[in-house]
Structure 1
Amino acid sequence: MKQQNSKLSTPISRDKGRKILFIGGIIVILIAITPFIFYSYKSFPEDSNSWETSFFTINTSYNSVMHLAWYVSGKAVPLLLLFIWFFTCKHWWHWIILVPLAMYSFQLWGIINESGGFDEVELIYIIPLMMVLVPIVYLIRAKLFSRIRGNDLEEFEEELGRKRTIWHQIMDLFR
């Protein structure tokens, strides 16, 4: 008589299943409390641009500490949600989420540094990231569709090497 291996009969061990449920529960709680995190700016002082507590002091050049908290929460909450989406997404295209992640990160950095001109220059910093990520994601997509269609990579490389007008290249993107 053959004995079954218990690891083969259960796809996920009990400890690993508990760990997955625990991490999933934390993610659900984080997503559920994002409205409270966003509206937490209302608890900051509205009439002063400095705030003293027994642990720290915040001085800002914005109109008030509440304005600073509003700016930070307006960038931190989408950044948190994008991080969760990036780390939990199992699709092949999840790397492109790095573009809005970088955008919100640069915006938040500008707010924290109180550069004054936030939401203006982050595009300059994101363009190099986009120049790397967008072609890589598009090539991954092209290779996946090539495999699905049954084309081999030699045919794919031949197609990339052909001289075409810009109009033909644009039309090929939408076929």
Structure 2
Amino acid sequence: MKRRITDQGSRARKKIIIDSFIVFFIIISPFVFKMHEYVSEDPNATLKILWFTLDRNGFLDLSTYVWFLLGKLVPFYLFIIWFFTCKHWWYHIILIPITMYAFQIFEVVYSEDLFVDTENVLWLLPVCMVIIPFVYFIRVKLYDKYVHGIDLDAMDAELKELKERERLREEGLDD
């Protein structure tokens, strides 16, 4: 009994710590987005963070590049938090904007093109082709069950029972 209470207490503490981190990252999101204001506007400036070095990467200056990058990163991590904490049946649809932002971030960081955010919609098509039918299928199942009162499992069981009766009746007539 004491062991069970201890397990529940440690689980509750762990959940509070994880939830606190999630809330912290949501709270600081506007401040993270505004970090570009503290980056140099000098066209030749670079920024070294740990083992990463950021330069202007084709933008006018480093501040513009960081502004553009944070404009993608902040919604990206907020969508990820939403995806992992959402308890609704449709939460898989959140993968579409997550994928969109992931492609945009990849394009901003690794692209050598003069234009960004141009053709990433084409990269989303395969993701959408998987996610949208999956979510629609779940919606149809839920709608049939809870709105129309159609229980497909019960219908399958009833059809099997009818087929079994029909089979027994035919065997009885053949004998």
Q: Shorter-chain TM-score: what band?
A: 0.7 to 0.9
- Write the distance in 2 (CA, Å) between the matches of 1:110 and 1:92: 31
Deviation at 1:49, TM superposition (A): 3.7
Higher-Rg structure is: 2
- Write the distance in 2 (CA, Å) between the matches of 1:147 and 1:15: 38
Helix, strand or coil at the partner of 2:54: strand
Helix, strand or coil at the partner of 2:46: strand
Q: Indicate which of 127, 137, 140 corresponds to 1:139.
A: 137
Q: Indicate which of 102, 109, 116 corresponds to 2:114.
A: 116
Q: Indicate conservation of the 8 Å contact 1:49/1:63, yes or no.
A: no
- Write the distance in 2 (CA, Å) between the matches of 1:79 and 1:120: 18
Give the total of aligned pairs. Answer: 151
Helix, strand or coil at the partner of 1:61: coil
- Write the distance in 2 (CA, Å) between the matches of 1:54 and 1:130: 35
**Superimposed CA distance per residue, residues 144-169 of structure 1 (whole angstroms, 9 cap, x where no aligned partner):** 12221321438x9xxxxxxxxxxxxx
Deviation at 1:104, TM superposition (A): 0.7
Counterparts of residues 1-175 of structure 1 (less than 5 Å): 13-51=8-46, 53=48, 57-59=53-55, 60-114=57-111, 115-148=113-146, 149-153=148-152
**Superimposed CA distance per residue, residues 96-152 of structure 1 (whole angstroms, 9 cap, x where no aligned partner):** 000000111111111101433221111000011111111110100111122213214
The alignment yields a C-alpha RMSD, in angstroms, of 2.5
- Write the distance in 2 (CA, Å) between the matches of 1:24 and 1:101: 21
TM-score when scaled to structure 2? Answer: 0.77
Structure 2, unpaired ranges of 5+: 156-175
- Write the distance in 1 (CA, Å) between the matches of 2:11 and 2:35: 35
Helix, strand or coil at the partner of 1:50: coil
TM-score when scaled to structure 1? Answer: 0.77
Structure 1, unpaired ranges of 5+: 157-175
Identity of aligned residues (%): 36
